[in-house]
Structure 1
Amino acid sequence: MFLSSVFLPAYADSSTAFFYGRPAPINLLSHFKQVIVEPENMDNLVDLRDKGTKVFAYVSVGEVNWSRSWYSEIPRNWFMASNKEWGSSIIDLTQQGWHDYLVDKYLSRLWEKGYRGFFLDGLESYQISVVEPGGRLIQEKALSNLIKRIHQRFPGVDLILNRGFAILPEVGGYAVALAAESLFQGWDPPSQQYTKVLEPDRYWLLERLKQAKDQYGLQVIVIDYVDPKQKQLARTTAKQISDLGFTPWVANPGLDILGIGEVEVFPRRVLALYDGKDYPEGLQQTDVHKLLAMPLEYLGYSLDYMDVNVGLPGNLLTGQYAGIVTWFNNDGLLIPTIYRDWLLRQIDSGVKVAILGNLGFKADNAFLQHLGVKLSQSENLQGPLKIGQSDKIVGYEAQPNPTLQGVTAWQALESGIENHLGLADQSEAPLVAVFSGNWGGVALHPYVIEPGYQGRQRWIINPFEFLSKALDLTGIPVPDVTTENGRRLLLVQVDGDGAGNKAEIPGVPLAVKVIQDHFLQKYNLPSTVSIIEGETASGRSSDKLTPIETIARDIFKLNNVEIASHSYSHPSAWFQKNNIMAAGDDYHLAIDGYEFDLKREIAGSAEYINKTLAPENKHARVFLWTGDGLANKEALVLTRSLGLENMNGGGATIFDDERTMTRVPPLGYAINDQLQVYAPIASDHVYTNGWQGPFYGFNRVIETMRLTDSPLRLKPLHIHYHFYSGTKIASINALKAVYDWSIKQEHRAVWVSEYSQKVNEFQNMTLSRRMDGAWTIRGLNTLRTVRLPVSTGWPDLERSEGVVGVRDARQGRYVHLLPDHGQVLLYTTPDPPSSPYLLHSNGEIEKWQQTAEGINLQIHAHTPLEIVMAPPERKCYVNWSGGRLDGQHQSKGWKFIFPVANPGNATVVCY
C-alpha cells in the first residue's frame, strides 16, 4: 500500500534510456526524450541530437575505470583506493588537479563535441574508503565545489546526478534529475547474479528518492537490472517504477543493450546470417533471402544480411534486433568455434534465434542443452523413420517425408521445448526435427523445404507460424506497402525493350506506338515508362530525332506517365557473375566501340532522357534494372546520388498449379544503407517463356495477382510488361485482358517511384510503445498504412494522432495514416469507431482536420477521386467548390465520386 500510493505517475515526456554500447542505434534511441551514452563509444552524437533527443555524456566523477584510454594520464597520488568489483580506482576529491583535469580537459572536449548534458556518476565512491564522518564531510565539500564549478564553466549545461544524496542540499539546485540504481531488481557483482532488492534496502532508497523529488523538484530516474531473457519481469519492474512517479530504465548491468523504460522499443530488424562460401554470386541467391525474407516482411520485419565469414557483430543485439535467423546448408562453417561462442552469447543475452537447415557446426551436448535438446543416445539410427508427432506448423504446402539421409539426430531433454515435428526409428528412439523454446526455434534439414522437379520447391513448415513462434514476434502494427487508404495499390510499369519492333497488325506500327495508343492513353492509369537509350537513339545521324524518340517524347508528355530509364545498353547483369560473361555482345546491346561503363548506363542514360526526350519541368525519376535485375552497391549508390528511385528483379510467379509461397519474393535487398527494390510481380517476359511463346501467356499474371491477395495480401497489383508486348495480336489481347481485369479491382493507382519510396520507408521505420499503451511509429512519410492484428482491437481515432481511418478486410485490419513530421501516435480500443472516418479511397491524403463544420480535407489521386466515409449509420455529404456533393449510400459507408482527380479543399459533413 505504501509503495503504490506515494507519487503520481511519471511525466509522459520524461522517457529516458541509458546506452553505453557501440554502435549506438540512433533511430531506436530517438524514441526517448533523453539518452545517456558513453561518449567514448558514441560516433554519431549529432544524428541523435538532430532527431530531438537530449543526449547526456556519462562522466565518472569519483572513480576512473582502468580501461579508460586516458587512465595513464592521472597521477597515482590522486587515487586513494581501488574498486575491484568494477575495475576502477577511487579519486581523492580534494585533489585540485583532478578538478582541473576533469573540467578543463575532459569535459571541455565533450562540450566541444556538442554535449550539453552530463550524467555524473561515482558521486558516492569516496564512501568505500572514507568511513570517518569528518573525512566524508571534507570529500562532500570538495565534490559540491566541483559540481558548482562544472555548472559555472558550462553555461546552460544539464546535469543528472547518480545518487549523491549527501550533497543534495548543496547542489540539488544545479541538477535537472537524480538517478539511483536497484529499487526493485539489482545486480550482485561478486556473484555475478541478478537479485531481488530486500525490502529494508528498498524502503531506505525510496525515502531518499521521495525527498529528491519533493524537496528539490528533480526528475527521479531509477535504473533496475533484470536478466534480458526475462522480458516480462523487465516490463513489470518498469511499470512498478513508473507507478511511483519515477522514470524507469530496466536493462543489464553493462547498460549496453536496449532496455525498457517509459517507452519500450519494438525492434523491427532481424539479423539474417548466411554462409557466403556457398553463394559466390551473393546474398541474392541465398535461401535466407529468397525464401525467408518475404514471410518476415509480411510479419512486419526487415532484414540485415551478414555473411558469417566476413564478421559478426561484437555487441549484444538485445533490444536492437527482433531476433537472428540462420539458414546453412551444412555444418562446415569456416569459423565454427567463434560462431558457436558468439551465438551462445546472443542467446544468453535474450536474443531469440530461428535456425533453419543446419546448425553450421557439429554441436555437442554442452551447446545443445541451451536449446533444450541433446545428441541421440543411439549410435546408429534404425530405419525407416516414421512421424512421431506434428502440429499446425508442419505440413504447410508439403508433408514431411521421413528419411535417414541427412537427418540430425537430436533428442529432447525432459522439458523446456515444444516439439512441432517428432520422428522415431524402429527402436522408437524419439528425435526432434522442428521444435521451439524460450530461446527461439529450430527447423532441421530436410524438414524445411521439399525440393522438386527443375528446382521447384514447397514449404514443409509454415514459415509465418514458425517464425512467429521461434522469434516471439508480438502483435505489432505492421507497416504495409501493398495497401493505402484501404485499397490495394496498382502499379503499371513498362520496360523499354522492343520499342522499335514492328507490330504484326495492320499498318505495321512500331510497338512503342501501339502501347501509347492502346494502353497508356486509353487507360489513363499512372504508368512508369522507360526507354533504352541505345535502342531508342539507334541510327541517329544528325540532330533529327529517330521515329522512336519522337513517339517517346509524346509519351513522356502524358500527365499520367512517369519517366524512367532502362539503361544505355541493356546489360544482362550489373556485376560479375559466374554464369554471365562480363564482356561481348551477349552482355549488352551491340553498340560499336562501347564497353560497359556504369556511369554511362545510369547517369548517362538519365541525362540523355532529360535533355532530349523529357518535356520542360519533367525529368526521369526511376531507374529500372535490366537483365537479371540485380544491382550491386556501386550501382545503387549511383542511382541514389542522382535522385532516382530504382526497381526490378524479384517478381512473384505463383500460379494456380504452382501455389507455393516459395515463388513470392521479398520486397528487395539492402547492401549496407542502399536498397534495391524488387518488382512485385514478374513481367510478361517470364509469362511468355522469355518471349518464346505462348504470346498470350501474360494472361496468367491475373492468377499471380489473385494469389498474392488471398488468403494473404503479399503484393500490390502490378502490370509489368515490355514494349514488345505491342507486337503480337495475342500479346496485345492478353495485355488488354490484364488491364481490364486490373481496373475492375478496387485499387489505388501509384507510380513506381511512389511504391519504391514506401519500400524504403518500410525498411527504416521504427516502432515503440508507451506505458499508456500508445504505439509511436516514426520514419513515415509516403508509407501510409499499418495492418493491425485483430486481437489488438481497433484504432482509437479520438486519442490517436495521425490516424484518419480503418478498413476491415479478409486479409487484415488496415489503418490509414497521415504522419505528422514523420510520426504517428496510435492508440487502440476494443470497439470500432463511432465517429466519422475514412473507410477507403483511391487518393493520397494531404490534409485531414476535424472542425466544427465537419472534416476538412485535401485528397488527390491520379484518376478521378473517390472516397468512402464510415460508419454507414451516419448520413454524410461533401461541401465542395461552392456546392454540395451527395454520396451513394452503401452497406459500409457513403461513397463520393469527384469529377476531378484533385478537387482541392472539401469538407465532409456527417450527421
Structure 2
Amino acid sequence: MTHPLRLLVLLMLALAAMGATNYAQAKKAPAVALYYQHNAPLEDLKVFDIVVVEPDHGYDPLALRTKGTELYAYTSVAEVQPTRAYFKNIPAQWQMARNGHWNSVVVDQTPAQWPAFFADQVVAPLWQRGYRGFFLDTMDSYRLASRFDEAAQQDGLVRVIETLHERFPGIQLIMNRGFEIAPRLKGKIHMVAAESLYRGWNAGASRYEEVPLADRQWLIAQLKTIQDRDGIPALAIDYVAPHDRALARETAKRIEADGFIPWVTDSRLSSVGVGTLELVPRRILVVYNSSESPALNYSNPHRYAQMPLNHMGYVVDYADILSPLPGGIQRDRYAGVVTYFSGFIPKNRMRELNQWLQARKTEGIPIAIMGDFGLQPDKSWATTFGLQANDLNITAPLRLKGKHAAMEFEIALPPIKRDDSPVLLVGPQAAQAEPLIEFVDKNGRSYVGGALMPWGGFILDPYVLTELPGTEQTRWVVNPFTFLPRALQLPPLPVPDTTTENGLRLLLAHIDGDGFPSKAEMAGSPLASQVLLQEIFEKYRIPQTMSIIEAETAPHGLYPDQSQQMEEIARKMFKLPYIEAASHTFSHPFLWDSSVKHGLFAENSQAQQYLDIPGYKMDFKRETAGSVDYIRQKLVPAGKPVEVFQWSGDTAPNEAALKASYEAGLVNINGGDTSISKAQPTLTAIGALGITKGNYLQVYAPITNENIYTNLWQGPYYGFERVLETFEMTDKPRRIKPVGIYYHTYSASKAAGLKALKKVYDWALSQPLHPVRTSEFIRKVQDFHTYAIAREGDGWRVRGAGQLRTLRMPYSVNDITPTLAQGVGVAGVSEGAEGSYLHLTGDRAWIARPGGSAAADATNAPAVWLHTANARVTQWQRTQQGQRTDFTLQGHVPLQFSVAGMTSACKLSANGQPVVAAKPSNNLRTDVRTYKLADASAQIQVICAGR
C-alpha cells in the first residue's frame, strides 16, 4: 500500500494544479434526469442540474433551486389524459384522436384559442408555484389522427411556444422532438429531446427493444442537425429494464459518445437512471422481524449492523417481515439488502420472503444474510443461492476445518454444538464461494456456517455475535467491517463524515436539564444549576447546549417556590453567547411509545410515563412546541433561537413524537447509548448515527451520558471520567464518533461528579478539536442522510445541504487512493487513521478520481491548502496560478489553523495584518505552518511570490 503521506502530497499537488476551469470545461451541457412517478427521490436527484418531474405530484421547485437543481415540469402539449384538471375545459371539437397505449386524447393545435388556453390552464398555475422550466412532450402526436394538416399543426405548435415566451419572460423549454419546427424557434428552445436512440420501450408489446439501425441513424442525424445548426444541446432518452444497470450504463456511454446528453431509465420513468452522471446508491435495506424485540431501537439489526454501515457511508432503511415487503428496491438507489433474523419468521411470511429474496438476487442486488435464514431454504435455493440446508446427512461430530481472517474479530469462535446448523455449498456457485467458517463431519464432508458468495454472503448464528455469560455485553465474532462490504460488494466511495471538519475531530457538549432544582452537596447547599453555571459554563467558554424541563423550572410546575430562582439562573445561562438553548420536554416522559412494554416502565402507569403533574395527560405537542414556547418567552434573550429538542426517558420516540418535533421546527437529539470502554471494549457498544421512523429522523447523541458510567447515578459519582476512554476508543483505530460531552444538571450536585466534569472538559480543551454547537452536529447527521454522490466522468459530483463538510477518502482501496484533483469546492486535505479528510467549502463539490484525465492534469507546481482548522470555511478562492489564496474562517473559539504547501516565499495575513506562524510541532511536516488568532473569525490571505 502506498504510504498515506505520499498519497496526501499527490492529492494536494493535484489540487494545486487544477482549478475550477477544468470542471467548467467538463460541464458543457447540464446533467439531466427525468422521473415521473410519485415520491421522486429529490434528495438523490439534486445531484443533477435539471430534473423533469410530473408537477401534479406536488413538488416544490423553489426548495430544490436553492440546492443548485432546477425542476422542470412535464407538460404534454398535444395529448391530455382525462385525469388532468384542465381536461374538462377542452372543447370536444379540439379533440382529434385517441392514444390507446396511454389512455390520452390528442388535441388539435390549429384553433386560434389553443395557445392562450395552454398558457393559462397548463403553464400559468405551474409558473405561480415556482416552475421556470418546462418539458414539452407529445409534440408530434397529431400524427395519430386519421386526417390532419401537418403544416397547420406545426404552425399551431409554434404559436404555443411563442405565446409561452410572451407570457412568461425567461421561461426555459425542453422540446421533445418537434424537429421540423425547431428552425422557426431560434432562441426559444433550451434543449431538444428525443426518445429511443439505442434502446426503446414497445408499449404495444410491453417489452424493451433495441432500436433498428435505420431508425437510429435517422434520429442521430436529426439531433446532430439541431446541435450544429441551432447551437442547442440534444437530450437522448432511452429505456432499459430497471434491474439491468450494466446495459443502462453501456447505453448512456454510447449516447454520450455520439455527442448527446444521455438519460437511460425504465419505461415508467420511475427509477434514477443513468445519464452524464450516475447516482451512487447509498441506501441499504435491512429486513428484520419486529416480534424479536420491543421496538426497532432495541433490535439486533439496529443495535449492531447499522453502525458499521453508517460508518462506511450508507443510510439504512428498515422493512419489517411482518408487513408486506417493499417494491422498488433497485440498484438505482439501493446498494444492497441485509436480512437479520434470530430464528424462523412466522410461517405465513416465509413464502413471500423466499420469493422476494430470490427476485432481488435475480435482479443483481447483493444480499447479506445474518443470524438465521428466517426460513428453511427449499430446493430452489440450491439453484438460486448455491445452498442446501436440509437433508444434509451430517455424520457427527463436526470439527473445525478452517476460518476466514474475518472471524474471531472480538472473541474466539464459540464451541461447536450439536444444534448448530451449517449448510452445504452446492452447484456451480460452490466453486466461487469463499467460506468464512468451515467444518467437516466424521466422513470428511464439508459444511459452512458462513461464506462470501457471488450473490453476496451469509454468516449464521452463533458466528455473528456472542453474549458474555452473566453480563449484558456482546462481542462480534465476525468482523462487520469485513463481512458487510464484502457481502454487499460495496464499491469504494467518498464517505460523508459526521465526525470531522477541516481535519479536526468535532467537539460538542449538551446537557439534559434533569436536576435543575437539586441541592448541591456543597457549602450553602446551592442549586446544582447554579453550580453548573458558575463552575462549568462561566469557565469553559465553548459551545454548549443547555436544556430545560419546563415542569421543573416554571412557576406552574413541580417547584413553584423555587421557580423564580431557577428561571433567573436559566436566564444567566442563556445570556452567555456560547450557550445554546434547548428543551428537554415539558414533563420529562419516561416512555415515548405507550405501545412498547419493557423494563422499568412495563406497568405503564401514568406516574411512570412522565413527571406527576396534576391534571396533565401526555401530549406530544405540549412536550415539544409547548415547552419550547415557554423557553422562548420566559428564559432566552430576545432574538436568541431555541431549536434543539433533547429526548428524555427511554429516548425512543415513536413516529408521532418525532413528527411533533419536526412540526415545531426543531432539530432533535439523544439516544444511541455509545459507551465503549476498557470494561466493555467492543464495537457493539457503539451506536448508529440515528434512526428513521416514517419520514422523521431521530439523531443520536454521539456518546452516552454519565448515567451509564455511574451505574444510573448510584455511584461511583466520579465515574463519568471514564468517558475519556470512550472518546479515545471511538477515535482509533476508526474515528466513528466526535467528542460528545453529554450529561445531566445533577452531575454538578456531587463534588465527585463536578470534579469528573472538569476533568472531561479539561481533556477536551487540551485536544486539537473543532468545537460546534449541538444543533450544528445534528444538522450534519441530517445532511448525511440526504447526501448525494454521483460518478461523473473521471470523478465524483457531490451535493449536500452545506452542513456536512468532510469527505473521508479511504487509503486502503487502490482505485480511490487520494490522488485526486480538485474540480471545485475543496479547500484542503489532512491525514486520518482510515484515510484522508477532504475539506469542503460548501454544499457541492467535484473531485477527480485517480487515473482519470483530470487527475493527470496535476503537476508538481506548489500551492497552499488548508490542512486543519478549528473553524468553518465560509469563503474560499484561489487564483488559477496559485499565487494568492483568500479564505474566511468562522468558528466559536479563538482560531487555530494550519496551512500546507507553505514556503519561504509565502506570506499569510489575517484581517489585513501579517501573522507569524507558531513554532512547529514535531508531528507536522515542514511545509505545514500553524497559526493562532485571538478572534473566532478572520479573513485570511496567503500570497506566494513567484508562483
TM-score range, shorter chain: 0.7 to 0.9
Say which SS state the counterpart of residue 662 (structure 2) adopts: helix
Q: In the TM superposition, what are the counterparts of 1:108-507 in structure 2 within 5 Å?
A: 110-111=122-123, 113-114=125-126, 117-121=134-138, 123=140, 141=151, 144=154, 147-148=157-158, 150-151=160-161, 154-155=164-165, 177-181=191-195, 183-184=197-198, 203=217, 205-226=219-240, 228=242, 231-279=245-293, 281-315=294-328, 317-333=330-346, 334-366=348-380, 369-370=383-384, 372-376=385-389, 378-401=391-414, 402-405=416-419, 407=421, 409-415=423-429, 417-426=432-441, 427-437=443-453, 439-453=455-469, 454-507=471-524
C-alpha displacement of 1:150: 4.3
Cα deviation for residue 324 of structure 1 reads 2.8
Paired residues for 1:691-840 under 5 Å:
691-773=713-795, 775-790=796-811, 791=814, 792-794=816-818, 799-819=822-842, 822-828=843-849, 834-840=862-868
Matched, 1:557 2:575: yes
Matching of residue 524 in structure 1 with residue 541 in structure 2: yes
1:825 partner letter: W
What secondary structure, in the 3-state scheme, does the structure 2 residue paired with 1:781 have? coil
Shift of 1:654: 0.8
Q: Deviations over 1:431-457 (max 9, x none)?
A: 444334454333333332223333322
Q: Partner of 2:609 in structure 1?
A: 587
Shift in Å at residue 204 of structure 1?
5.4
User: 3-state DSSP class of the match of 1:393?
Assistant: coil
**Who is 2:898 aligned against?**
868
One-letter code aligned to 2:521: E
Question: Quick one: distance in 2 between partners of 1:179 and 1:683?
Answer: 57
| 1:899 maps to 2:934 | yes
**1:503–1:727 contact (8 Å) kept in structure 2:** yes
Partners of 1:702 and 1:431 lie apart in 2 by: 44
Is 1:569 aligned to residue 569 of structure 2?
A: no
User: What per-residue deviation string (whole Å, max 9, x for no partner) do you get for residues 73-127 of structure 1?
Assistant: 99999999999xxx56899x8x959999998999975435527534435959969
Secondary structure at the aligned position of 1:292 is classed as helix
Q: Distance in 2 between matches of 1:856 and 1:66?
A: 56
SS at match of 2:874: strand
1:841 maps to which of 858, 869, 872: 869
**Offset at residue 488 of structure 1 (A):** 0.6
Contact 1:836 1:874 in 2 (8 A): no
Q: Name the residue aligned to 2:29.
A: 13
Bigger shift: residues 548-557 or 480-489: 548-557
Match of 2:14 in 1: none
Mapped partners of 1:66, 1:340: distance in 2: 38
CA contact (8 A) 2:883 2:944 kept: no
Which AA in structure 1 matches 2:433? E
* Cα separation, partners in 2 of 1:316 and 1:717, compared to 1, 3 Å: closer
Q: Is the 8 A contact 1:767 1:776 kept in 2?
A: yes
Shift of 1:70: 9.0
**2: CA distance between counterparts of 1:544 and 1:455?**
40
Computed over aligned residues only, the root mean square deviation of the Cα atoms, in angstroms, reads 4.2
- Structure 2 vs 1, CA of residues 78 and 631 (structure 1 numbering), >3 Å: closer, same or farther? closer
Segments of 5+ residues of structure 2 without an aligned counterpart are 1-24
* Cα distance, 1:872–1:390 mapped onto 2, change above 3 Å: farther
Question: Structure 2 length as normaliser, TM-score?
Answer: 0.82
- Conserved in 2, the CA contact under 8 Å of 1:19 and 1:258? yes
- Superimposed CA distance per residue, residues 288-341 of structure 1 (whole angstroms, 9 cap, x where no aligned partner): 221111111111122233334344444353312333333233332444444444
Residue 286 of structure 1 aligns with an amino acid whose one-letter code is S
- Return the letter of the residue paired with 1:444: L
1:39 and 1:620 map into 2 onto residues whose CA distance is 35
In 2, the alpha carbon distance for the partners of 1:44 and 1:458 equals 47
For 1:447, give the aligned amino acid. Answer: Y
**Inter-CA distance 844–90: structure 2 relative to 1 (3 Å threshold):** closer
Alignment partner, residue 70 of structure 2: 53
2:234 is aligned with what amino acid? V
The 1:395/1:404 distance shift into structure 2, 3 A limit, reads: same
Q: Counterparts of 2:615 and 2:175 in 1: how far apart (Å)?
A: 71
- Give distance in 1, aligned partners of 2:779 and 2:868: 21
Q: Secondary structure at the match of 1:556?
A: helix
- Check whether the contact 1:22–1:315 (CA below 8 A) recurs between aligned residues: no
SS in 1 for 2:405: coil
560-569 or 801-810: bigger deviation: 560-569
Contact 1:140 1:166 in 2 (8 A): no
Partners in 2 of 1:563 and 1:249 — Cα distance? Answer: 48
CA contact (8 A) 1:34 1:56 kept: no
Is the partner of 1:700 in helix, strand or coil?
Answer: helix
- Find the aligned partners of 2:878 and 2:713 in 1 and give their Cα distance: 54
- Equivalent in the alignment of 1:4: none
Q: Which deviates more, 230-239 or 450-459?
A: 230-239
Identity %: 33
CA deviation vs aligned residue, 1:375-410 (integer Å, no higher than 9, x gap): 347354333334444433333223444445262635
Match of 1:6 in 2: none
User: Quick one: structure 1 residues 329 and 90, their matched pair in 2 at CA, closer, same or farther if it must change by over 3 Å?
Assistant: same
Match of 2:460, as an amino acid? L
Q: Partners of 1:101 and 1:336 in 2: how far apart?
A: 60
In 2 relative to 1, CA 14–377 (structure 1 residues): closer, same or farther, beyond 3 Å? Answer: same
Aligned mates of 2:779, 2:351 — CA distance in 1: 41
* Distance in 1 between residues matched to 2:117 and 2:810, nearest whole Å: 54
Q: d(CA) in 1 for partners of 2:77 and 2:837?
A: 49
**Residue 419 of structure 2 aligns to a residue in which SS?**
coil
Name the structure 2 match of 1:5. none
Taking a change above 3 Å as real, the CA distance of residues 292 and 143 of structure 1, as seen in their structure-2 partners, is: farther
Which whole-Å CA distance do the structure 1 matches of 2:483 and 2:86 have between them? 46
Query: Is the contact between residue 90 and residue 126 of structure 1 (CA under 8 Å) also seen in structure 2?
Result: no
SS of match in other structure, 2:889: strand
Where structure 1 has 5 or more consecutive residues not aligned to the other structure, the ranges are: 1-8
From the superposition, tell whether residues 215 and 451 of structure 1 become closer, same or farther in structure 2 (CA, over 3 Å): same
Q: Following the alignment from structure 2 to structure 1, what is the Cα–Cα distance between the partners of residues 665 and 831?
A: 36
**Structure 1 residue 219: Cα displacement:** 2.8
Conservation of the 8 A alpha-carbon contact between 2:77 and 2:138 = yes
Q: Which amino acid aligns with 2:723?
A: V
Q: Is 1:858 the equivalent of 2:892?
A: no
The match for 1:908 is 942
Kept in 1, the 8 Å contact 2:517–2:562? The answer is no
Q: CA distance change for structure 1 residues 424 and 166 in 2, over 3 Å: closer, same or farther?
A: farther
Higher relative contact order (CA 8 A, sep 6+): 2
1:885 and 2:900 matched: no
Please state how far the C-alpha of 1:746 moved relative to its aligned partner.
1.1
- One-letter amino acid of the counterpart of residue 743, structure 2: Y
Number of aligned positions between the proteins: 884
How far apart are the structure 1 equivalents of 2:784 and 2:162? Answer: 46
1:744-785 residue CA offsets vs partner (Å, 9 max, x unmatched): 221011221221121111112222232242x33223222221
**TM-score, normalised with respect to structure 1:** 0.85
